[in-house]
Amino acid sequence: MKITKILIDNRGEIAIRIIKTCKKLGIKSVAIYSEADRYSQHTLLADEAIYIGGVSSAESYLVIDKIIDAAKKSQADAIHPGYGFLSEKAAFAKRVKEEGIIFIGPSAEAIEIMGSKLESKELAKKIGVPLVPGSTGAIKTFEEAKKIANEVGYPVLIKASAGGGGKGMRVANDENELKNNLERAKSEALNSFGDDTVFIEKYITSPRHIEIQILADNFGNVVHLFERECSIQRRHQKLVEEAPSVVVNEATREKMGNYAIALAKACNYTGVGTIEFVWENENSFYFLEMNTRLQVEHPVTEFITGLDLVEQQIKVAQNEEMSFSQNDLKITGHAIELRICAENVFQNFLPSTGQILDYVKPTMENIRFDDGLVAGDYVHRYYDPMIGKLIAYAATREKAIELIAQAIDNYIITGIYTTLPYGKYVFTHPDFIAGNFSTKFIEQNYTHFLDTFTGKSEIEGQLACGIIKQETE
């Protein structure tokens, strides 16, 4: 079936990203918006916009009945969930299909299997994908937890099975911490996901986060689109992503890619998805989880492959067979992305809200912006603090790093704090430039980052982080 109109169950930069591909393909787009987003850019750029409720996600973007009603009212053929909100909710995918609407994503069954960290690990174990040593099932008591921790050795990581975004995750370095953090992780998991199921695995102290992008159609064809390096994180949430990774050689890339393809085939996966790995070295990497949706960091993969991943999602959804094979794909150049989050990087990345006073993007070749803001817009406390993404592409990693650092120097956002100054710190840090870093980078270097601003006046500090701009005569 040819899709002619897509309702986008999302907001902000990802909604605009999907609208752009819809326009390119001649497909009508329908935006939905909450009270807080009444005048947001995604509502203005779509062909239609439908109001669905109050300011909070619980009143709007997470209400399945309202989204289905909007799709029917607009006569949309399909719903694209973007990422976040309902994108990985099996019940939503199932309901959309039952209503006779195309869900642009995998089946509810695949989401359910791979959305559970325990079920996905069991599947990975079954087909021989390497796993971090740890529990094979849910941990229900402290005695069970203690037994597993003693077997694999401290430190251990307690993780929510239904979790994501760093929620429901706690590290325990000894038995006392295990006892305290087990209950904390279970409580946080219950509050965040409505499910307090947790498991335990060996905590790798200085890992890298490497993920493989996959694409699968409805005809049994599955390819991988190489790897992304996502190790620069705070609170287990990514801040900087790049493709390819500086540490992955061709032989290991093929091995990881084949594991990712095998997992996708094992759960009858269709569409785009990402297999995430914890990396110790080229001989030791372990399956972490699968994200059954488009990733925030998909632009770096689009740069190095030349593919539009939203377009590929739509093609799969309308039952087109993949027009290329693994042998047709190759890595060209290097891409780096910085998530622009409304966060005060001088106060441990706390959310920053308010009105954007100035918003000027640099005009530079091979720089891409995925954003959804203009001067005068408000950044609300109701939603995720990520407000956009800055992506640079060049022939080499060194040139891409130079380019994105230059772009930050010429990017003006005032009125709120953002992660731009921390991005500049990362891209000029010798360890990042050398490729010598892990997921501990921010933790290990945060004090040094703060020290670079020591001695500055409040005005100088605000100028440095972009909260105000330099007045010129």
> Catalytic residue positions?
293
* Tokens, residue 205: 């102290």
Cα–Cα distance between 110 and 273 in angstroms, integer? Answer: 11
Question: Are the beta carbons of 20 and 370 closer than 8 angstroms?
Answer: no
Q: Mapping DSSP to helix (H, G, I), strand (E, B) and coil, where does residue 40 land?
A: coil
Cα–Cα distance between 446 and 100 in angstroms, integer? Answer: 50
Distances 414 to 37, 293, 336, 465 between C-alpha atoms, Å: 20, 32, 23, 9
* Tokens, residue 147: 């037994």
Question: Are the beta carbons of 466 and 420 closer than 8 angstroms?
Answer: yes
Q: Tell how far CA 381 is from the center of its chain.
A: 19
- Residue 361, classified by CB atoms within 10 Å of its CB into exposed (0-12), middle (13-18) or buried (19+), is middle
Q: What is the helix (H) or strand (E) element at residue 336, kind and residue range? A: strand 334-341
For 232, residues 6+ apart whose C-beta sits below 8 A from its C-beta are: 238, 239, 240, 241, 426, 432, 437, 439, 441, 442
Cα–Cα distance between 210 and 273 in angstroms, integer? Answer: 14
Pick from 73, 70, 85, 75: nearest CA to 14? 85
Instruction: For residue 393, give the amino acid letter.
Output: Y
Q: Mapping DSSP to helix (H, G, I), strand (E, B) and coil, where does residue 364 land?
A: coil
Question: Other CB atoms closer than 10 Å to residue 417's CB: what's the count?
Answer: 27
The dihedral formed by the CA atoms of 444, 446, 448 and 450, expressed in degrees to the nearest 10 = -170
Question: Are the beta carbons of 152 and 189 closer than 8 angstroms?
Answer: no
For 176, residues 6+ apart whose C-beta sits below 8 A from its C-beta are: none
For 1, residues 6+ apart whose C-beta sits below 8 A from its C-beta are: 77, 102, 318, 319
